[in-house]
Structure 1
């Protein structure tokens, strides 16, 4: 054995002085047995091996403590050292990602954008601020005031404030931050009610169906109109998600939280549109051109769709605000999803079924998407959703009815015995 090998071995912690472990979240911890033989694990709050080894040194004394009193004293001394840790601003984002946030890709970009803006501001206005623990309530308020003076909207202001609040909240426990300086800063009140998307009328839908546009753009429109799909899910739809009379997919918006699959029957109108699309052997996407466009510039694709829908509804971009500039209007791609939910509810599809097809909760669909106008004419192309759904699930429904009939014919005592056996097997 060489001298170098011997040196490497002597770096191992001596027997009985505890061990350094790495938990599933990447954070190191120190594990040892106290004077009574009880196993104790102390988080070191860092993902850096070298830093963890330094923090573990004073904790090693706890493992070799011969009495409870001595161990308590060692713990107190070690805690002071751990609490003295710092987190440089340059490492905040990496550390935040290490907490495994459940936010989607778009939301994470908003968080990172807000943090980057704060770091640029701090470098110019608070050059001595280098660590997250240096941020106090006054600093937080000053940055938010600077952002507000940049003529941003109340919604953008609240997004940036919320981003910093969320990032700091996630880091408070692992880095033992004493308080969140963003918690006491105030949100801005939104001026008036935010403009919600409106569903298309029967006339609008007919104009859309008659309009001349590229086949993939028309199919993209119909995926929202006939299946209620959001833009990202529709633009990035794969052929593997289409089959058996259904579109089956996991919504991008909820894949990090619930990962529940959505299954929507394919209406004849949508089926015909999908059949007309040429299949690209080199791509898994239903609409390769639009999938690439969305991945490259989702905002640009969204604006193109808004322009097309404004042609359909007779609205112009200037009409949306009255100020001659592009802003959120009452009609956009999401209007097609609103139309799907409204017409599906009008067709008599149960609320729970509609919510499952929309990939949302019943309360959300009812509050934000369903806008029934009893005086409005139903859209014939979407009125068949209930019958299409019944045909697609007809086999299961018929079997359920047959089982109900059999249960009705059996004595009540027998039915109870069957149920008891079933419950025991669960």
Structure 2
């Protein structure tokens, strides 16, 4: 009986019974309801914002007084039942523990009101985040820190525990005219820090994310690929000659081409690897090596026991954008630069030509490692299928 009453007491204490603000003349009043009765208490404020703060304080005091009365009543009820013999000393333990727990909660609320928590600075927030030991690569953690430093410069002495959505919008606007994906990267990085600390309310909502303006890549024609290869041979661009052949015949992305490992070439003539983009899911792809590509790989002068292109691996590790810029320059010199063209165009070329050749969609999907056939056909395929062709076109 007593324990049941205590449950009801805790529910009443937690329930917000403030009916709202009412303005009479120039003064705002806090309207409270309890037990079917309505009480109006003056906030002594004439502006709505300070009136709401006063109303919150009045409500807190009202609920605290009500909780005290109810807990006292429950404690007296236990004492009466103990004195009358309705409860034994052992049977009192449960109700008294319940009363103590609710009383402790109320006492902590009083402490929070009287001694507010100290403000949490951005630098302290970063230290707390590091204490969670996030499982990130060193390069990923460094990127996150660079973005957080920019946030710290903007945040100044703001309290991170009370950062609002308005503050988040203000910071994102302070970044200026940036691309949508950069805006969203900042949002994701900062949100992940708050999520790692569950005691903090995360103000970085997904609705702050910008709609990506994706620039679709265009595939090269087979003739363009031949021209690129001829340009590379003429200008002694050996690495790019081999990289273009690899991507044309396999659809591999630039990072996977650069990081191509000798152990990924199987004795039975396949490339067997886990692409960088599916590293988390450990999804492997197995791609047959065409004779033209096998001959190209066999002609590489090996300078490493592991990688085919150790110098490019070092460059890519230092800054992954360098090789992308270099390929852009190569296209410009070859007279093929333009919107939508880049190394990733070769992946589009591979999928387009494979489907044109009549190779099944499921087969192409498996080779390129896509999670859905819709992505393979809807995003990467450019052109009409030609089921009469039976093999991927050789260069």
Normalization by structure 2: what TM-score?
0.63
Tell me, yes or no, if structure 1 residue 307 matches structure 2 residue 333. Answer: no
Aligned to 2:228: 208
Give the whole-Å Cα distance in 2 for the aligned partners of 1:241 and 1:142: 48
Q: 1:200 to 1:88 in 2, by over 3 A?
A: same
Alignment check: 8 A CA contact 1:343 1:378 kept: no
CA RMSD of aligned residues (A): 3.6
Aligned to 1:250: 274
Deviation of 1:184 after TM superposition, in Å, equals 7.3
Alignment check: 8 A CA contact 1:198 1:331 kept: yes
Give the whole-Å Cα distance in 2 for the aligned partners of 1:349 and 1:71: 70
Name structure 2 gaps, 5 residues minimum: 1-92
- Render the CA deviation track for 1:292-321: whole Å, top value 9, x for unaligned: 111112111111112223444x234xxx4x
Alignment check: 8 A CA contact 1:218 1:273 kept: no
Deviation of 1:330 after TM superposition, in Å, equals 1.2
Deviation of 1:71 after TM superposition, in Å, equals 6.6
Q: 1:225 to 1:104 in 2, by over 3 A?
A: farther
Aligned to 2:72: none
SS for the counterpart of 2:277 is coil
The one of 240, 245, 253 aligned to 1:217: 240
Alignment check: 8 A CA contact 2:357 2:390 kept: no
Q: 1:360 to 1:159 in 2, by over 3 A?
A: same
Deviation of 1:221 after TM superposition, in Å, equals 1.8
Deviation of 1:278 after TM superposition, in Å, equals 0.8
Deviation of 1:339 after TM superposition, in Å, equals 0.6
Query: Which residues of 2 match residues 400-419 of structure 1 at below 5 A?
Result: none
Give the whole-Å Cα distance in 2 for the aligned partners of 1:252 and 1:370: 22
Query: Which residues of 2 match residues 184-203 of structure 1 at below 5 A?
Result: 186-188=208-210, 194-203=214-223
Deviation of 1:331 after TM superposition, in Å, equals 0.8
Deviation of 1:359 after TM superposition, in Å, equals 1.5
Alignment check: 8 A CA contact 1:309 1:333 kept: no
The one of 174, 182, 189 aligned to 1:163: 189
How many residues in Structure 1 have an aligned counterpart in Structure 2? 291
Alignment check: 8 A CA contact 2:229 2:244 kept: no
Aligned to 2:39: none
Deviation of 1:350 after TM superposition, in Å, equals 1.9
Normalization by structure 1: what TM-score?
0.59
Q: 1:379 to 1:111 in 2, by over 3 A?
A: farther
Give the whole-Å Cα distance in 2 for the aligned partners of 1:219 and 1:277: 9
Aligned to 1:36: none
Aligned to 2:354: 344
Deviation of 1:180 after TM superposition, in Å, equals 2.5
